[in-house]
Amino acid sequence: MRTPIARLGIHPLSKYRQACPQFKEPREIISFSYDETRQMRMDNHQLKYYYPPRIDPMPSLFAGFEQQICRDSTKNEHIDGLLNALAYVRTKNEAAEPNDTRADFVMYRGMLTRIFVTPFSLRDAWSMNIARVGATIYVEDNVTDEMIADRSGSSEQHRRLMYSGYKFETLCMVDEPPETLSREQLDEQLAKQAREVVNTHSEYCTVFRTQLGPHSIISGAEVDCIDRAKPHEFPNRSYRELKTSRCLDSEKARNSFERFKLLKFWAQSFIAGIPVVTVGFRDDEGRLKEVQDIRTQDMPRMVRGKPRMWEANVCMNFANQVLQFIKDNVTDGGPDAQYRIEYSPEEAQVQIYSLGKRPSFLTAEYIKSLSK
């Protein structure tokens, strides 16, 4: 059995109930797209524009399920897209500032989100791989064979619910800024989106720089859409998240939504500096019954004072401590000197293990760009 080189206990949560650490508004470094065949493009090709979906008559979020084009769930993409984007900025000398592509941590938003929500998602285990090169620590998801098997073997009902989120996105997005379209052009685009086959290869991503406490972070995140033509400065202020949920038809359902889903919505949007989450509420037959905009900054207030709810300052202080915990214990350098950090619900601990020398999860192109 492996022995961790360091342990960080979760409890008591009261130790994190203090003033929030400083958090700098995310600033975009670059954006990129994955096209319909999952080829990466250093452009805004897949950026879509928000337009409120029509819900009269109620559209089905299960429509077209059989025709969807799905990304290969067995392929581990590591953090290749994020690294390739940073390498591109370096080799093209496109950084707005000299230190734009260097930070204490480089990781996708999903990893930060997992850390943020841990104090209030105590049953959800996670595992990540870590490498340190120079002063920068790289973090990726530890994708196991078991996780891949779970993705491939999920039930049809689970796949339908996953699909409903993608379908909702297609109903909310048009290809051009709505303010530039005539009524007829807008109607045409909305009709086209309603017929469009869902393709999960396609994706638009932002790469941004932020800071939590003393820790500078470069992260990447998929962005669902934007409210208007993309501005040059702080485009995140116009980005929008699109989410789905079952209708909140009981107090129990509302409590569960606020306790679990709203926590993840807040963490994802807060980390990337996205101000609004649009939630489509569906019934059990997949019919879209209601659409609601929720401002990211309002989410903590929505649950404040309610029993067994999450607290934003606890999430932020916990994440700040975990990042410091990683810095203190991941000391060996080099792309092939790897560590693993895991959260164990059984032990209520975050643990770090040394894995020794392993094939690097950093791309060769990126490593070469470090000398630029």
Q: Compute the mean pLDDT over every residue in the chain, rounded to the nearest whole number.
A: 94
pLDDT, tens digit, for every residue of 173-203?
999 999 999 999 998 988 888 889 999 999 9
Residue type, position 41, single letter: R
Helical H segments across 104-224, by residue range: 109-117, 145-152, 156-172, 183-195
pLDDT value, residue 187: 87
Secondary structure of residue 145 in the 3-state scheme: helix
Q: Can you spell out the DSSP letters for 264-315? A: HHHHHHHHHT--EEEEEEE-TT-BEEEEEEEEGGGHHHHHTT-TT---HHHH
pLDDT, tens digit, for every residue of 290-343?
999 999 999 999 999 999 999 999 999 999 999 999 999 999 888 899 999 999
pTM greater than 0.85:
yes
pLDDT value, residue 371: 79
C-alpha 195: how far from chain center: 27
Calpha distance 312→22 (Å, rounded): 13
**Is residue 96 predicted with pLDDT exceeding 60?**
no
C-alpha 296: how far from chain center: 14
b/e sequence 330-357, b meaning 16+ C-beta within 10 Å: beeeebebbbbbbbeeeeebbbbbbeee
φ, ψ of residue 263 to 5 degrees: the values are -60, -50
- Better-predicted residue by pLDDT, 343 or 371: 343
**Omega cis (within 30) before 98:** no
